[in-house]
Chains A and B, each alone.
Chain A
Amino acid sequence: KQEVTQIPAALSVPEGENLVLNCSFTDSAIYNLQWFRQDPGKGLTSLLLIQSSQREQTSGRLNASLDKSSGRSTLYIAASQPGDSATYLCAATNQAGTALIFGKGTTLSVSS
Chain B
Amino acid sequence: EAGVAQSPRYKIIEKRQSVAFWCNPISGHATLYWYQQILGQGPKLLIQFQNNGVVDDSQLPKDRFSAERLKGVDSTLKIQPAKLEDSAVYLCASSLVVRGTGELFFGEGSRLTVL
Contacts and interface: CB of A to CB of B under 8 A. Distances in A.
B106 A45 contact: yes
Contact of A97 (B42, B101, B108): B101
Contacts of A105: 42
B40 interface: yes
A97 B56 CA distance: 11
Nearest to A101: B45
A89 B103 CA distance: 14
A44 B100 contact: no
B106 A93 contact: no
A25 interface: no
A46 B106 CA distance: 8
Contacts of B43: 44, 89, 102
B30 to A, nearest CB: 12
Contacts of B44: 102
A5 to B, nearest CB: 10
A98 B104 contact: no
Contacts of A49: 102-103
Given A43-B106, A43-B107, A98-B48, A31 B100 contact: yes
B12 interface: no
B103 A43 contact: no
Nearest to B42: A102
Contacts of A103: 42
A100 B45 contact: yes
Given A102-B44, A104-B41, A104-B42, A97 B100 contact: yes
A91 to B, nearest CB: 8
A96 to B, nearest CB: 7
Q: Among the interface residues B43, B104, B109, B111, which one has the most CB atoms of the partner chain A within 10 A? A: B43
Given A46-B104, A100-B45, A104-B42, 19 more contacts: A32-B100, A32-B101, A32-B102, A42-B109, A43-B91, A44-B106, A46-B106, A49-B102, A89-B42, A91-B104, A97-B101, A98-B48, A98-B55, A98-B100, A98-B101, A99-B48, A102-B44, A104-B40, A104-B41
